[in-house]
Amino acid sequence: MTSVAVVGIGAVGSMALWRLAARGIPATGFDAYAPGHDRGAAGGESRIFRTAYKEGPQYVPLLREARDLWGELERAAGRRLLTPVGGVTVGPREHAKLAAVLAAARAHDLPVEVLTGAEAARRVPEHPLREGEVMIADPDAGYLRPEPAVVAAAAAAEQAGARILRYTPVTRVRQDEGGVTVTTADGEHRFTHAVLAPGPWARTLLPDAPIVAKAITSTWFPRREESLFDPGSCPIAIRVGEPAYSCFPSVDGIGVKVNLHVPWQEIDSPDALARSAPAAYVRQVAEAVAATLPGLRPDPVRVATYADAFTPDGHGLLGRQGRTVVAAAFSGHGFKLAPVFGDIVADLVETGATARGIGHLAPDRPLRRSS
């Protein structure tokens, strides 16, 4: 009889455990902390959901499925996890990333609009355009609540019969012809299959993969007016060019989160992650806010640092290798896709294959740095 260990109950791991349990497959989750903790890639209060995807049109069918599964998880949890406020991408008219958003939209007939001038200012006053800039509006975008989502997926998994061993770090996973052995401080646990979803701890369990852990810093800025950046109506925003960042509505009513898009600092392990950021970095974000977000006061009221795992080409690793399914290193853009990735994991455990298009995520693909 099939039995599955899911190592790491973060975003993808919690969703995999939920989808396995929903199919009646016995599954046990292992986590060094507990679902919803703030040590990994799912911290920070909010995450972007969008379908007009500059990272590639191959993601759009997966995003559509993910949106449906987010709705299913919301019904199970009895609370909203995805708030569909829309989203905008802002930047120089000829910027390659704007072209990539439009290409994904054209490939899948997505209802995006290109806004300029007075119309952009009327509809999204929080993000004024500069000379030569345009705004692409995606009505299907919104923001997710990561910590409650992970807690909800873990609870749905346990409700369906899964077991979670909290505060139980895994030190080794070894597969052989008969199954998989998971080693913890409490001893060895035997299963027929294992799912490796270790988040920023990926190098521990996948030492041969070209993965690096990086620190990601978020900053929150106070609003000048309560009418701006309202969490029920203000869209999420991505600015490309210089400066480049992601910006969210004021989810907690206190600050507006801005994630500056800069080369993230590599770290040896999330266990040694500095929980704040150098003053020079904070100054850099403050300068970007002062230059492009007049509705915010350019001194942050909160700074926090999280971690994620990255591949050289910026696309994750998702596939089956023997009795093990790898679901790791989604490179800063896996959270929105976590429910469908979890369902794909269940496919791979159950049948060894999936009908979903995940060739671009194959763990054994040649990995090259993206341009």
Residues 195, 342, single domain; the answer is yes
Q: For residue 265, give the nearest of 231, 310, 234 by alpha carbon.
A: 310
Residues 221, 351, single domain; the answer is no
Residue at 86 is within a domain: yes
Residues 134, 152, single domain; the answer is no
Each of the 371 residues of the chain gets a pLDDT tens digit; together they read 899 999 999 999 999 999 999 999 999 999 999 999 988 889 899 999 999 999 999 999 999 999 999 999 999 999 999 999 999 999 999 999 999 999 999 999 999 999 999 999 999 999 999 999 999 999 999 999 999 999 999 999 999 999 999 999 999 999 999 999 999 999 999 999 999 999 999 999 999 999 999 999 999 999 999 999 999 999 999 999 999 999 999 998 889 999 999 999 999 989 888 888 899 999 999 999 999 999 999 999 999 999 999 999 999 999 999 999 999 999 999 999 999 999 999 999 999 999 999 999 999 999 865 54
Residue at 370 is within a domain: no
What's the CATH code of the domain at 305?
3.30.9.10
Residues 227, 266, single domain; the answer is yes
255 φ/ψ angles, rounded to the nearest 5 degrees: -130, 160
Residue at 367 is within a domain: no
Burial 45-60 (b: 16+ CB within 10 A, else e): bbbbbbbbbbbebbbb
Residues 97, 11, single domain; the answer is no
Residue at 65 is within a domain: no
pLDDT of residue 369: 58
Which of the listed residues 271, 293, 310 is the one where a domain comes to its end? 310
Which of the listed residues 289, 310, 331 is the one where a domain comes to its end? 310
Q: Domain range holding 350? A: 4-47+146-203+312-361
CA angle 361, 107, 120 (to 5 degrees): 110
What does the alpha-carbon distance between residue 322 and residue 180 come to, in Å, rounded to a whole number?
10
State how beta strands 113-115 and 170-176 pair: unpaired
Count of Cβ atoms closer than 10 Å to residue 94 Cβ:
9
When divided into structural domains, the chain yields a total of 2
Global confidence as pTM: 0.96
